[in-house]
Structure 1
Amino acid sequence: MLAGIGLAIGACACFSALDTTTKAVSPFVPLLMALWFRYAFQALATTAVVIPLRGKRVLRTQHLPFQLLRGVLLLVSSLLAFASLRFMPVGEFTAIVMITPLAVTLMAATRLKEHVSPTRWALVAGGFVGTLIIIRPGGEAFTWASLLPLVLVASNTWFQVITSQLARTEDPLTTHLYTGWTGTLIATLGLPFVWTQLPDPWLWAGLGFMGLMGTVGHFLLVLAYHKAPASALTPYLYSQIAFSMLGGWLVFKHLPDGWSMFGMVLIAICGAGGAWLTVRENRRFA
């Protein structure tokens, strides 16, 4: 269990490093070009490691359409993330994205017709209140770009739902491979139209670092889920908010204001509370 928690926290640190680097390079690199580097690195590195270990049988899937749809949804989510980070601080962006588990609960109730307890409804409401506090529609700091993370939450919610369905029958490494290659191939189609010569070596280094952090982060997360159940790991995934705040301070000298900090804490508490309820329910029906 402790090994799984440590791996999950390490994955969160990698994802925060990815987001911080993305914000640093995004003003100078076309979005699709940066996205291609991130996916191509992950797809090639994963293939180089997995195929020699597992052979071509790892490519077998019973649900190819859903594997491809999952890859498209993650690509859309990544594109929205890259666009959002052009306009938003890393910490605030991360906090909004972390309402995804609460949004999954909302979808389970409205679309999948699953029973949701009043306590869960309260946690969902609290998470969305925290989001509104960060965005503050009508406030001086509000811009329409602040709504991009909410669109990202919607696409990421569908991504999570499909992931949970595939996890019942599919090898996680198979899913990981298909997701990486789907994003890479789609991004490659548009790459000739956006390719730009980058004048500074640090931009190339930044793109490589983004690919490395994305690959290592997802790999650590896969290992974490092999060491501990998802319900036990979920509260620790909110450490990504703290890592993102640290990255924003170190690189951009930005710290959230008091209201944003309150909203971020509210989201973390509600999300962790939802994970705690899941653990308790699993124990009750075990």
Structure 2
Amino acid sequence: MTALESGGSAARKITRDLESERILAGIGLVLLAVACFATLDTATKLSTAAVPILMGVWVRYAFQAVATTLVLLPKHGPRLLRTQHPKYQLLRGALLLASSTLAFLSLRYMPLAEFTSIVLIAPLVITLLAATTLKEQVSPLRWALVAGGFAGTLVILRPGGEAFSWAMLLPIGLVLTNAWFQVLTSKLARTENPLTMHFYTGWVGALLASVALPFAWTTLPSWHWWALLCLMGFMGTVGHFILILAYQRAPASTLTPYLYAQIAFAMLGGWLMFSQIPDTISLTGMALIAICGAAGAWLTVRERRVPIEPAES
């Protein structure tokens, strides 16, 4: 082997090592992000004991809007505000606000782990929308994964069973609104700056929630509740920022399956804060959703159809 070949081999090894380190860093960041989202959901469930739903939603979006503005506007200036589709930006923000409101309502009545599992069928619903609304071709394997995910949902919900209640349908509404949010995100991402989309999402949610705020505002019994609301806003904002950093370091096809680790973090939060442990039947449904959802999301990203983002609360 010549010195030139030896040097080239060493350079390739260094490149592979650096790439491996970046991928491992991306995986670590994704796990940290979903831990933030699980903490957000746990804090949200705690807040519903004393804080009106609309007031909690307003604080969550006001925190994101202000934090995003303080970080992004000085760096990007007026470019951050430029958009070719202001109506779609408004609709996207309204859809996410609806998703968040349904998430708050769902968490008031449902255990954390079951809620998180149902919400994570959103990528499978996107497949259904792509086939029925966008007229995309869907493979038999993908249809099988969609069917498996919905079967897992039915196992958790158990319609007709003693544990079933109308409140368990709330996360289904969340999944539908979030799926439309994801489809619209895909459409806007072709022409819009992602940071601009993130900026408008926060402010649209904050402003729309402000309209209803006078009817929901109440004096909280302790400053601890305000601290909890700030924690919710912080975890939501930081979680999405960390997720962006993760996708800058590793391919989405590698990272997407790790989003389903949020189910495990939700189970941990439910156990620590509410002594909620899913039964064997619910665990079976969760596993089915995680397997089908992770496989379906991986296929979606590999085919570069619709970008997958976690559902927000």
Same structural fold, with TM-score higher than 0.5 when normalized by the shorter chain: yes
Cross-structure match for 2:75? 53
The residue type equivalent to 1:10 in the other structure is L
Question: Where do residues 159-178 of structure 1 align in structure 2 (5 Å cutoff)?
Answer: 159-178=181-200
Cross-structure match for 2:171? 149
Matched, 1:127 2:127: no
Distance in 1 separating the partners of 2:124 and 2:50: 34
Cross-structure match for 1:68? 90
Distance in 1 separating the partners of 2:48 and 2:291: 31
TM-score normalized by the length of structure 1: 0.95
Distance in 2 separating the partners of 1:192 and 1:149: 26
Cross-structure match for 2:282? 260
Question: Where do residues 1-286 of structure 1 align in structure 2 (5 Å cutoff)?
Answer: 1-278=23-300, 281=303
Distance in 2 separating the partners of 1:62 and 1:9: 34
The residue type equivalent to 1:116 in the other structure is V
Distance in 1 separating the partners of 2:298 and 2:59: 37
Superposition RMSD on alpha carbons, in Å?
A: 1.2
- Unaligned ranges ≥5, structure 2: 1-22, 305-313
What's the CA shift string for 1:63-88, capped at 9, x where partnerless?
Answer: 11111111000000000000000100
Distance in 1 separating the partners of 2:301 and 2:283: 27
Task: Tell me, yes or no, if the aligned pair for 2:124 and 2:297 is still in contact at 8 Å.
Answer: no
Task: Tell me, yes or no, if the aligned pair for 1:32 and 1:187 is still in contact at 8 Å.
Answer: yes
Secondary structure of the residue that 2:51 maps to in structure 1? coil
Secondary structure of the residue that 1:55 maps to in structure 2? helix
Identity of aligned residues (%): 67
Cross-structure match for 2:13? none
What's the CA shift string for 1:200-240, capped at 9, x where partnerless?
Answer: 22111110100100110111122223333333321111011
Greater shift in the superposed pair: 228-237 or 105-114: 228-237
- Unaligned ranges ≥5, structure 1: none
Distance in 2 separating the partners of 1:146 and 1:281: 33
The residue type equivalent to 1:203 in the other structure is W
Distance in 2 separating the partners of 1:280 and 1:210: 32
Report how many residues are paired. Answer: 282
> What is the CA-CA distance between 1:279 and the residue it aligns to?
5.7
Distance in 2 separating the partners of 1:194 and 1:185: 15
Distance in 2 separating the partners of 1:280 and 1:31: 38
Task: Tell me, yes or no, if the aligned pair for 1:103 and 1:124 is still in contact at 8 Å.
Answer: yes
What's the CA shift string for 1:231-255, capped at 9, x where partnerless?
Answer: 3321111011111111101111111
The residue type equivalent to 1:106 in the other structure is L
TM-score normalized by the length of structure 2: 0.87
The residue type equivalent to 2:280 in the other structure is G
